[in-house]
Amino acid sequence: MTTGEVVEAAAVPRVVSILSALLQRVAERNDAAAEGALPAEGRRRPVSAFQGLTKPAISIGGYLERIFRFASCSPSCYVVAYIYLDRFLRRRPALAVDSFNVHRLLITSVLTAVKFVDDICYNNAYFARVGGISLVEMNYLEVDFLFGIAFDLNVTPAAFASYCSVLQSEMAYLDPPAPVDAPRLHCYSAGTSDHHHDDPAAAATAAGCRRHSQQQPQLTV
């Protein structure tokens, strides 16, 4: 990778990679669920304008980065697009995000968000070229999406902050904090080294280690 490519990659906002990773995981899970369903009903997908016949060759992450690089959207647009997408799917529970529809859902939700959030944005013809679809399809998807969310475009500061928290949780899932280097303590279990009971310092260290281990929260992944 050249220096210019490294700088270009670093310019991608964190929200773009987080949102793409979240949708990638959801799409893979729904793909697996569809593949594991009964043949009589598993191959039938909901009839939707967003549903494609084949999986696009470009990944979700690559597609969202392409939108970012060419559409010049502000980072907040991707949070609002995520909110719109969630509203759309809540009103259409039969439609599950998968590899056949996630790209069209993304380009349409970002197009809707940028028109509402940013003061200056490209027109539908430009977004259609960025998304790799025709202008006619882009227009149709936009109308279908707007009716799907019942034209509920307003996003309150509380709602925006709530969805930001979800994305921050996703960031913590993707990038767990590195362990902090701490002094290594020698903990002794009861009955393993009797001679340490004669040493008050060793006994205090062992008791402190046991208390510390008992206070650790039980984490489930």
CA distance 80 to 154: 9
* One-letter-per-residue 3-state SS of 37-48: CCHHHHCCCCCC
Locate 94 and state its tokens: 């039969």
CA distance 89 to 139: 19
Query: Tens digits of per-residue pLDDT, 29-64?
Result: 999 988 876 555 545 666 789 998 889 999 999 999
Map out the domains of the chain as residue ranges. 14-36+45-174
103-135 b/e (C-beta count within 10 Å ≥ 16 → b)? bbbbbbbbbbbbbebbeebbebeebbebbebee
pLDDT for 148: 96
pLDDT for 34: 85
pLDDT for 170: 84
pLDDT for 47: 75
Percentage helix, strand, coil for the chain under 3-state DSSP, each rounded to 5: 65, 0, 35
Locate 181 and state its tokens: 């280097």
pLDDT for 178: 57
User: Regarding the domain delimited by 14-36+45-174, which CATH topology (the fold level of the hierarchy) does it fall under?
Assistant: Cyclin A; domain 1 (1.10.472)
Locate 69 and state its tokens: 């690089």
> Alpha-carbon dihedral of residues 44, 127, 121, 77, nearest 10 degrees?
40
12-41 b/e (C-beta count within 10 Å ≥ 16 → b)? bbebbbbbbbbbbebbeebbeebeeeeeee
Q: Which helix (H) or strand (E) holds 116?
A: helix 102-117
Q: Check residue 119 and give left, alpha or beta (phi > 0: left; psi -120 to 50: alpha).
A: alpha
CA distance 92 to 86: 10
CA distance 67 to 128: 10
Residue 90, SS3?
A: helix
Nearest to 202 by CA among 184, 215, 187, 182: 187
CA distance 11 to 201: 54
pLDDT for 38: 53
Instruction: Provide the 8-state DSSP code for 52.
Output: -
All residue ranges of the chain with pLDDT < 70 are 1-10, 37-46, 175-221
